[in-house]
Amino acid sequence: MMDRDTAIRIFKALSDASRLNIISALQNGEAYGELLAERLGLSASTLSFHMKKLEEAGLVSSRKEQYYTVYTLNGSLTKLRLSDLICGGSPAAEDEAQRREEEYRQKVLKAFFEGDTLRSIPVQRKKKLICYQHIARLFEPGRVYEEKELSDIIASVHEDYCTIRRDMISEGILTRENGKYVRIK
């Protein structure tokens, strides 16, 4: 039976119009990356990013042919029924996964924070997200912050407040509109 994490990875991979277009194109048969990018109007780096997500979810596989990469759809997964995906995983396994996740979160915070100060911005996205979520607790959800106020708060945690502010927006932790910021998660 499929576990819950795998099902979530599949749903996340599919929740994007471009990736659905890629899956749809691959249903006609395997294809070269360059050809797919051209057909779907995507840059090589963007296609490569989408393919990585689809591969991580197990929906697509790839192989090298000289300088080119050929992508193939994993028919056994794409033919699954929605109910097979939704019903995978047990509550006990989920609890265990949550416990492990919390343990990992604490480990990352201990490694990257000294009190309320961020020692350095992690390179790995998962660790970075954990640190940004930790910084986000300094903002009241739903309250509107002026740019200066928000920057001052982030700067008290780490001097590179511009990068952190930008990343927190692109990761969907904060929103920015007309120079005002709101924490959304």
Partner 1 sequence: MKEFIESLKAENAALNKKAAALRAENKADEAVFATVRANVYDICATVCGVKMKTGDIEGFGAMLDRFEGEWGASLQAAEKQDNAKKICVEQTKLEALADVRARFAAARGE
CA-CA distances (angstroms) from residue 1 to 6, 89, 149, 170, 178?
10, 7, 50, 34, 48
* Three-class SS state of 145: strand
| 11-70 binders of partner 1 (CB under 8 A) | 15-18, 42, 45-46, 48-50, 52-53
Report the C-alpha gap between 52 and 50 in whole angstroms.
Answer: 5
Nearest CB to partner 1, comparing residues 166 and 185: 166
Residues paired with residue 62 on neighbouring β-strands, in sequence order: 71
Nearest CB to partner 1, comparing residues 48 and 156: 48
Report the C-alpha gap between 65 and 153 in whole angstroms.
Answer: 51
* Residue 170 interacts with partner 1 (CB under 8 A): yes or no: yes
Size of the site for partner 1 (CB under 8 A): 19
Mask for 70-109, x = binds partner 1 (CB under 8 A): ----------------------------------------
- Of 19, 1, 17, the residue nearest 56 (C-alpha): 19
* Residue 120 interacts with partner 1 (CB under 8 A): yes or no: no
Residues lying near partner 1 in the complex (CB under 8 A): 15-18, 42, 45-46, 48-50, 52-53, 123-125, 162, 166, 169-170
